[in-house]
Structure 1
Amino acid sequence: MIWRGFKKQLSNYLVFFFSLIFAVMVYYSFTAMTYEQPLIRSAGKNTQLVAMLGLGGFVVVLILLFFMTNTNRFFIENRRKDISIFHLYGLSYYQICLWFILEILFIGIFSFVIGISLGVLLSKLFSMILVKAMDLPLQVHFFFSTDAIVSTSLVVAFILLVVSLQVLWLVSRYKFSQLKKIQLRKIKAMTLSTSQKILAVIGVLLLAIGWGLAVFYLYFSRQWSDRFGLFQGNFLLMLLIFMICVVGSYLFFADTLRWYNAYRPKRLTKNLRILSRSEWQLRLSSEWRFLGSITVALGLALTLLGLMIAISSLVMRSVHESTPASLIVTSESFKKIEPELKAGFPYTKATVTLKAVPAKQDVRISGEETMTQPEVMDMVSLTDYRAFQKMNDTLGNIQLKATDATIILSSYQRFLNEYTQYDKVINLKQRKLFVQEMRPNFFGDTSMRYGTGMIVVSDKVFAETQGVAYKIEVIDVARRDENALNRIVKKNLKGDWDHPIHHDLSWKNGQIVGEIKTGDDTENKESTIYRSEYASHLETYRQARSTQGLILFVVTFVTTMFIIATASMLMMRQLSDFKQKRKQYLLLQQLGIPEKNIHQEINRENRYAFFIPALLALVHSILAISVIAHIAQNANYGFVYLFCGLMLAVYGLFYWITCMYQKKFL
């Protein structure tokens, strides 16, 4: 009887089996890369490769545990009749538990062996993808790790232990007398009480409110920022939207969809649509928690991916902003490398003269105090701006409309741009400048300058304004010579912070009080600012690419695995339910219902199961990403939208396989 029961569930176990194989393969590959010393040495210490891959592996374990426990619960619930019959035949509680545990161990061991084998074979592919994502100059070779196998076996053993304990708890709940109670619950599920109808309406209202807050997030966030502060207000508003959407999603499946399916107009008698509504009304009474959890988890996974992609996009964009040329170096340090540069390879150079000047511009940030104190600003003349522009095509053409006009080069405000307001007047010690325009700052790494802001002024204003003048050298070489240039820089320069300036600025009686001084001597009350020695494009790019590539690799693989795991769970539930519904479909055929209509019914039920949670999660994630876009502007969100399409494609594939299988064995 046990063997016959196992064979009866074999098709469900096959999906479970292959999904577990995939999970073991991914976890082994993540763990094996943490032991691959050439990869770790090539990545360098700054990327924290081992920690990031370890975090990815931990999340994989959580996904695997979620998948196994949910699937095991479904299997046990689906075989409650078998449990009750075995009770009648005299089998003890522990014998029945042992039956289920042995099935799980049997599948777990075989999945582990095959998953490890595939992981060993495909670990090189995973390493190649990681090396490409991090842009590392490394040749990947076949790698076998016994430590990774031991670690994977311990994880699988832990998960199987948790599932075995779950079996002991679940089996103890099912007795023969429970079958009648289950039947009564099914009958009761076909009707909704007044309170459930009220909750159904509340569910729709909560989703509408949550989505409305996300769509008009900027309007509400400004109000909350003014009341609670910038960061506290945004955090509380995000948390409120999240909680509203979570509760709304659960109520949507628990009551809203059930009430909708309870409505059966006469037009639904065609094509068995009324049968679909009845089936879904019945299923939602017991599976609303599962479907709600899938929806919320999928939305969170896609939102997290979108957040990581936004951050990576901004970081990689800042590489070109901070190092628009091959090398930016102080004039003092340029003299150290000039002889080797001249003897090495051709290059182009531009000298840019800057001035650190005391200036005041009021800046108001929503929910925070208005910044009214003077600060150090960097000033550049229009002539030097155009000289740098010849080497930096990202700098646009500018034309000052008046002598006292200025253009502010902001640090390309990607964060909280909508919450910041700048005054149109900049106060210097001897004059006022009027802001003509604000533009992104592609003038190089801010660590090479003193000021927090940068302004472009006319040559006359530049010459008449007092301040600390300093020069930076902008060097550009051909791409093929960047490695050689980087070696010269590393050989001769240390990358120190030097050339300090000191200031103690204040605003009194409508004027800036205080001076900017140079030198090492300073009073305790003065603020000191240093400049970096150089900024290398190749060095900055490699560091950013390796770090962000590693993060995207881990987040993308974990999200992909979670999507596959959730689609597998839905597929197993549909295939298992089909065994019980097959008799109903055969009866419909005997009653003369065309096969085409029955196939439409199969497609319809599977569409409900796969695409309602997926589409609801998709709406949640897209609106969440729109909220992130309000805060982190100018990021590239194309990849996450592509991944949303990939999620629908994966769910569509599992939906198609499920339909084909059911139609074949009808």
Structure 2
Amino acid sequence: MIFNLSWKNFKGQFLNYFVYFVSMTFAVIVYYCFSAITYNRALVKRVGQEIHISGAMNFGGILLIIMVLGFMLAANHFFLLKRRREIDLYHLFGMRKSQISLLFFMETLIIGAASLVVGIIFGVIFSKLFSMILAKAMFLKVESLFSISFPSMMQTALIFVFMLLIVSFRSTWTIYRYRVTSLTKNVEERMIESKKLSKLSFFWAVLGIVLILTGYLLSYYVMPFAVSLNKALGSFTGILLAPLLIMLICMVGTYLFFKYTIYLIVYLIEKNRSSYYRNLHMLALGNTKFHIKKSGRTLSTITIFIAVALGMIGGSASLYTLGMNSVKVTAPTDFIVSEDTVNKLKKKIEAEPNTVIDSSVTLKFKLTGSRFHFKIGQEQKESSLSPINLIALSNYREYQRINPYLKDIQITHEQEAVTLDSLQNILSGFVRYDSVFDLQGGQKLIVKETKPDYLGQDLMRYMMPTLVVSDALYQRIDTGLTYNLTAFNVQTSDEEALTNFLAESIKPNWTSPIYYRYQWIDNQVSGYIKKASQVKEEDLSTIGTDEEEFWQLNYTNHFSDLRYERRVMGLFIYVAMFLGILALIITGSILMLQQFAEAEKEKAKYDLLRKIGVSQKQMTWLVYQQNSIIFFPPMVIGVLHATFAIYVFSKFVSSSGYWLAYLSCGLLILIYLAYYFLTSAIYTRIIRGRDQR
């Protein structure tokens, strides 16, 4: 009997369960495909050992489980509220709580099993498509991507059955913990409050909007805010702490906004008596106040969830662009090689068939001691006493002919110089050098400007600042050390085969150590920089030394770096995009289910309106107005949160891909508008009584 009753209830609640079914099925498909990819040997082997594809997929699976479990618990809560009168009838018919709980368990099991089976079937069908998308994102060429993973089926089934059990136990606990009458008690009776707004509620309402605006203001001035935190904390942790504090402020402000601020706005609108009694405005405002009071926590949670989802989508797209740009910074030509590796590497390349070396340029650097000042953000000047790299302007321009990313530089006076800073590629303007560099030997450099560093991997230059100087000044400097790097391009029929061949014989390694020690004495730089340590071993063991030691990376390979970045960033954007889209679907589904539950409870109210002469057109307007309060504020504030979050990210990391992040905000608006119109149409259908069993 219980099974038959459960089946009848399921058919009667088909509309609500269909939304739940579709969302759950999509989640099962995504989880199965994530899991199946980790068992796809052809794909994992093609990616290689340097990319841990299973770790990324498992981490994405964990986040998916958390999101889906939250959705299932929320949906189950709405189902219980919607069917409170039905539960009361079961109680009057003499059914025990155990039987009622078993009834809900059977319904949960039916819809869960159906979504699980259908999800796995579609997951198997679409697993090749998911794998192709991943392979495309990671620029992989794999012949066969289709596979049926039985371990993934078992893993997906166990995970979702476990979540279904959690939801079932939660509904059982709810039914057993409260009296049945408490479930059937009208929420309206619990929500009745005085029409007067208390002073405490007014304070929280104002504080909510103040916190959100404060978060936005701090986002706009995030760099000065981060520097202020650095000063207060006495360290550079403020750079990381600033975005976290802004996020916390916005989260608290969001909760207060939906809990109190919107209620205050409606309360103030009610004061306008000229429009309050016009048409159905009085009823619309009353419904709005009621739904805001009841759904404040849900709306605030969904808004934060939306902002996080948009951040995942937009941030992943921006990081992908940033990763591709980093290859231009570290490996602007096919190879950049140190002196002790260049001959060996060239012999290996020339031995390969259909491979020719062209466009070779030797970069000649001088390491010399220098004293200079710099600022981090708006912080006070910091002083540094260390070697710097110098390169002649003519050598720089020679390299510019084969390196298209180098910026044009003009030097008009002998003492002028241009600083090349790799941080300008990411944290634009965050690190600023002073205009004067004091060199060992009494020379002074006047910094004309600072430009992004596209000379190549700065680890090959001992991680020192690099300055472009005039040829005359470069020839005159005779202190320090000189070293060369060779940059060249290669014409070959198969870049990947060449890279794999070289990887077996020539490994990236640390070579050519240097040792230096500098002091500022009598307003001059004094000290040394050598290829051998000047400190005796016995002195080092007894008194220590302030001599510094640095090593040089031996070579970089453009294709190797590009392949790595494509695979890492492609994997990241793949996981983030699917999780972000799933999050948007889940949040929209939660709001839709919530409104369906409200429609069932408000049938009697709309029947009364119909009897007193309110037209169907007016009631439809009332439905759309009521749903707009539920869908639009989370959408608008979520987009605003995401927009300012992207702005904060752009101040720390420069990238040309932020338009993709804003495009994701447009995607959210389209999804939520679709949910809004669909929910309003079905809501109208429900209150008309066309879906009655």
For normalisation by structure 1, the TM-score amounts to 0.94
- Distance, in Å, in 1 between the alignment partners of 2:253 and 2:561 is 45
- Distance, in Å, in 2 between the alignment partners of 1:162 and 1:316 is 43
- Distance, in Å, in 2 between the alignment partners of 1:590 and 1:538 is 75
- Distance, in Å, in 2 between the alignment partners of 1:198 and 1:531 is 60
Mapped contact 2:224–2:378 kept (Cα < 8 A): no
Tell me, what secondary structure is at the counterpart of 2:372? coil
Determine which of 382, 385, 389 is the counterpart of 1:374. Answer: 385
- Distance, in Å, in 2 between the alignment partners of 1:627 and 1:337 is 43
Does residue 561 of structure 2 align to residue 556 of structure 1? no
- Distance, in Å, in 1 between the alignment partners of 2:124 and 2:173 is 36
Q: Deviation of residue 214 (structure 1)?
A: 2.0
- How many residues are matched? 666
Does residue 209 of structure 2 align to residue 204 of structure 1? yes
**CA, structure 1 residues 373+159, in 2 after alignment: closer, same or farther (shift >3 Å)?**
same
Does residue 447 of structure 2 align to residue 450 of structure 1? no
Q: Deviation of residue 369 (structure 1)?
A: 7.8
**CA, structure 1 residues 305+400, in 2 after alignment: closer, same or farther (shift >3 Å)?**
same
Q: Deviation of residue 181 (structure 1)?
A: 6.7
- Distance, in Å, in 1 between the alignment partners of 2:601 and 2:463 is 73
Residue 176 of structure 1 is matched in structure 2 by: 181
Which residue identity does 2:464 align to in structure 1? Answer: T
Does residue 511 of structure 2 align to residue 507 of structure 1? no
Correspondences of 1:474-623 after superposition (within 5 Å): 474-478=487-491, 480=493, 482-483=495-496, 485-486=498-499, 489-490=502-503, 492-519=505-532, 523=536, 524=540, 525=545, 526-623=547-644
Mapped contact 1:305–1:555 kept (Cα < 8 A): yes
Determine which of 403, 418, 423 is the counterpart of 1:407. Answer: 418
- Distance, in Å, in 1 between the alignment partners of 2:135 and 2:664 is 21
- Distance, in Å, in 1 between the alignment partners of 2:165 and 2:69 is 11
Does residue 146 of structure 2 align to residue 133 of structure 1? no
Which residue identity does 2:331 align to in structure 1? Answer: T
- Distance, in Å, in 2 between the alignment partners of 1:394 and 1:307 is 25
**CA, structure 1 residues 339+86, in 2 after alignment: closer, same or farther (shift >3 Å)?**
closer
Mapped contact 2:510–2:554 kept (Cα < 8 A): yes
Does residue 370 of structure 2 align to residue 359 of structure 1? yes
**Which stretch shows the higher mean deviation, 74-83 or 524-533?**
524-533
Q: Deviation of residue 142 (structure 1)?
A: 1.3
Residue 473 of structure 2 is matched in structure 1 by: 461
Tell me, what secondary structure is at the counterpart of 2:384? coil
- Distance, in Å, in 2 between the alignment partners of 1:160 and 1:190 is 42
Q: Deviation of residue 19 (structure 1)?
A: 0.9
**CA, structure 1 residues 631+115, in 2 after alignment: closer, same or farther (shift >3 Å)?**
same
Determine which of 319, 332, 337 is the counterpart of 1:324. Answer: 332
- Distance, in Å, in 1 between the alignment partners of 2:616 and 2:182 is 38
Residue 388 of structure 1 is matched in structure 2 by: 399
Determine which of 43, 65, 68 is the counterpart of 1:64. Answer: 68
Q: Deviation of residue 386 (structure 1)?
A: 0.8
Mapped contact 2:81–2:183 kept (Cα < 8 A): no
**CA, structure 1 residues 174+132, in 2 after alignment: closer, same or farther (shift >3 Å)?**
farther
Which residue identity does 1:486 align to in structure 2? Answer: T
- Distance, in Å, in 1 between the alignment partners of 2:346 and 2:240 is 51
**Which stretch shows the higher mean deviation, 180-189 or 135-144?**
180-189
- Distance, in Å, in 1 between the alignment partners of 2:535 and 2:558 is 34
Mapped contact 1:127–1:140 kept (Cα < 8 A): no
Q: Deviation of residue 269 (structure 1)?
A: 4.5
Does residue 447 of structure 2 align to residue 435 of structure 1? yes
Tell me, what secondary structure is at the counterpart of 2:411? coil
Mapped contact 1:189–1:281 kept (Cα < 8 A): no
Does residue 198 of structure 2 align to residue 193 of structure 1? yes
**CA, structure 1 residues 487+175, in 2 after alignment: closer, same or farther (shift >3 Å)?**
closer
**CA, structure 1 residues 2+103, in 2 after alignment: closer, same or farther (shift >3 Å)?**
closer
**Which stretch shows the higher mean deviation, 601-610 or 101-110?**
601-610
Mapped contact 1:498–1:531 kept (Cα < 8 A): yes
Residue 691 of structure 2 is matched in structure 1 by: none
- Distance, in Å, in 1 between the alignment partners of 2:6 and 2:344 is 82
Determine which of 471, 476, 483 is the counterpart of 1:470. Answer: 483
Mapped contact 1:65–1:159 kept (Cα < 8 A): yes
Q: Deviation of residue 105 (structure 1)?
A: 0.8
Mapped contact 1:24–1:119 kept (Cα < 8 A): yes
**CA, structure 1 residues 301+183, in 2 after alignment: closer, same or farther (shift >3 Å)?**
closer
Tell me, what secondary structure is at the counterpart of 2:171? helix
- Distance, in Å, in 2 between the alignment partners of 1:314 and 1:539 is 17
Residue 291 of structure 2 is matched in structure 1 by: 283
What are the superposed Cα offsets for residues 330-367 of structure 1, whole Å, 9 maximum, x if unpaired?
24433224356557444221222111222221123358
Which residue identity does 1:433 align to in structure 2? Answer: L
Mapped contact 1:326–1:482 kept (Cα < 8 A): no
- Distance, in Å, in 2 between the alignment partners of 1:181 and 1:653 is 31
What are the superposed Cα offsets for residues 456-498 of structure 1, whole Å, 9 maximum, x if unpaired?
1111111111232222221113475534653563365333322
What are the superposed Cα offsets for residues 30-55 of structure 1, whole Å, 9 maximum, x if unpaired?
01111111111111122211111000
Correspondences of 1:93-112 after superposition (within 5 Å): 93-112=97-116
Does residue 236 of structure 2 align to residue 247 of structure 1? no
Which residue identity does 2:437 align to in structure 1? Answer: I
**CA, structure 1 residues 547+592, in 2 after alignment: closer, same or farther (shift >3 Å)?**
same
- Distance, in Å, in 2 between the alignment partners of 1:132 and 1:295 is 32
- Distance, in Å, in 2 between the alignment partners of 1:192 and 1:148 is 55
- Distance, in Å, in 2 between the alignment partners of 1:325 and 1:423 is 31
Q: Deviation of residue 580 (structure 1)?
A: 3.1
- Distance, in Å, in 2 between the alignment partners of 1:377 and 1:255 is 58
**Which stretch shows the higher mean deviation, 252-261 or 453-462?**
252-261
Q: Deviation of residue 56 (structure 1)?
A: 0.3
- Distance, in Å, in 1 between the alignment partners of 2:184 and 2:144 is 58
Correspondences of 1:226-245 after superposition (within 5 Å): 226-245=231-250
Does residue 301 of structure 2 align to residue 293 of structure 1? yes
**CA, structure 1 residues 392+330, in 2 after alignment: closer, same or farther (shift >3 Å)?**
same
Residue 41 of structure 2 is matched in structure 1 by: 37
- Distance, in Å, in 1 between the alignment partners of 2:586 and 2:92 is 36
Tell me, what secondary structure is at the counterpart of 1:138? coil
**CA, structure 1 residues 659+560, in 2 after alignment: closer, same or farther (shift >3 Å)?**
same
Q: Deviation of residue 322 (structure 1)?
A: 1.1
Unaligned segments of structure 1, at least 5 residues: none
Q: Deviation of residue 370 (structure 1)?
A: 4.8
Q: Deviation of residue 114 (structure 1)?
A: 0.6
Q: Deviation of residue 11 (structure 1)?
A: 1.1
- Distance, in Å, in 1 between the alignment partners of 2:201 and 2:409 is 64
Residue 267 of structure 1 is matched in structure 2 by: 275
Mapped contact 1:629–1:635 kept (Cα < 8 A): no
**Which stretch shows the higher mean deviation, 214-223 or 332-341?**
332-341
**CA, structure 1 residues 332+420, in 2 after alignment: closer, same or farther (shift >3 Å)?**
closer
Residue 158 of structure 2 is matched in structure 1 by: 154
Mapped contact 1:404–1:457 kept (Cα < 8 A): yes
- Distance, in Å, in 2 between the alignment partners of 1:27 and 1:459 is 61
**CA, structure 1 residues 490+521, in 2 after alignment: closer, same or farther (shift >3 Å)?**
farther
Mapped contact 1:356–1:469 kept (Cα < 8 A): yes
- Distance, in Å, in 1 between the alignment partners of 2:378 and 2:158 is 50
- Distance, in Å, in 2 between the alignment partners of 1:175 and 1:650 is 37
**Which stretch shows the higher mean deviation, 52-61 or 272-281?**
272-281
- Distance, in Å, in 2 between the alignment partners of 1:595 and 1:653 is 22
- Distance, in Å, in 2 between the alignment partners of 1:141 and 1:487 is 23
- Distance, in Å, in 2 between the alignment partners of 1:413 and 1:16 is 48
What are the superposed Cα offsets for residues 625-653 of structure 1, whole Å, 9 maximum, x if unpaired?
22222222345322221111111111122
- Distance, in Å, in 1 between the alignment partners of 2:146 and 2:170 is 39
Tell me, what secondary structure is at the counterpart of 2:193? helix
- Distance, in Å, in 2 between the alignment partners of 1:545 and 1:201 is 47
Q: Deviation of residue 521 (structure 1)?
A: 8.0
What are the superposed Cα offsets for residues 531-565 of structure 1, whole Å, 9 maximum, x if unpaired?
22211100000011111111111111111111111
